[in-house]
Amino acid sequence: MILKIGSTGRNVNIVQRNLKMISYDPKGVDCIYGENTETAVKNFQSENSLVCDGIVGDHTWNVLIDTIKNIQAALNSYGFDLVVDGIAGIDTYKCLLRFQEEYNLTADGIVDPETKNALFKNNNNSLTDFDISENGVNFIADYEDFYAEPYRVLDSQNQTIGYGHVIISGEHFESITNVQAKALLKKDLQSFVDIVNTITLNLTQCQFDAIISFAYNCGISALKNSTLLKDIKANASIEKIREDFLMWCNCNGKRELGLYRRRYDEFEMYKDADYTRTYRDF
């Protein structure tokens, strides 16, 4: 997907509605990608660690959709019944207005800092409780080997199936499909999602996904004790964050190409919302 100056149509309308709801006013919702929409997109990209080019490609689109999904999910936690589709349509707008009215906020259908704090106040320490996105699940799955039937790795007493799911007591599998394996993977990722959501971090969706991938691969203890987490909390430079990711490329004291590729791809996901697997060399 590419939306830029001169683009028209439904997707432009979605971009404009989403931007307006999260306080990046495109100065109109007219399905026409003009200079004001470009400016609003650039502001959104700048504040979400995206490439600031004013063009809505797949990465910017995904972060924008996930941002509205988080708002919809938060509204549902207050008793609303929205479809979590990432589109700031009329139903989401009406529910947001009702929420603002009930909590004595400015009822304008815009998630400004005051509304954001009220909407996400029940979360554990962070501004938003995230779930891992489908892009994040697919990224992790792509780095894990898929096994349709149970197998036992050399250093484990447990059998594993799918994308690294450890078969526990009471579970019985003869074989599973790729779809079933991804469902198991997402279930396994939930404990990592819950733990990362308890850490005070101000992340975008793509940054959250990168951290979950790192923790799933390296371990939650490794994340908690890492300079990566320390530097994210300290708002360190993006170059320092890159160095922190790449510190975790060694296996048995030697740099391992597969780990290097994963860490670098996680960093690019963190920085640019790029979920592409890149087979780079050292």
Strand partners, 3: 56
**Catalytic residue set:** 144
Read off the pLDDT of residues 219-245 as tens digits, 9 standing for 90 and up: 988 999 999 999 998 888 999 999 999
pTM for this structure?
0.58
Read off the pLDDT of residues 63-72 as tens digits, 9 standing for 90 and up: 899 899 889 9
Q: How far apart are CA 141 and CA 2, in angstroms?
A: 26
By percentage, how much of the chain surpasses pLDDT 90? 64
- Number of Cα atoms under 13 Å in the Cβ half of residue 255: 10
Write down the mean pLDDT value for the chain: 90
Residues of the chain under the 70 pLDDT cut: 122-129, 154-156
Angle of helix 134-143 relative to helix 205-218, nearest 10 degrees?
30
pLDDT, position 154: 60
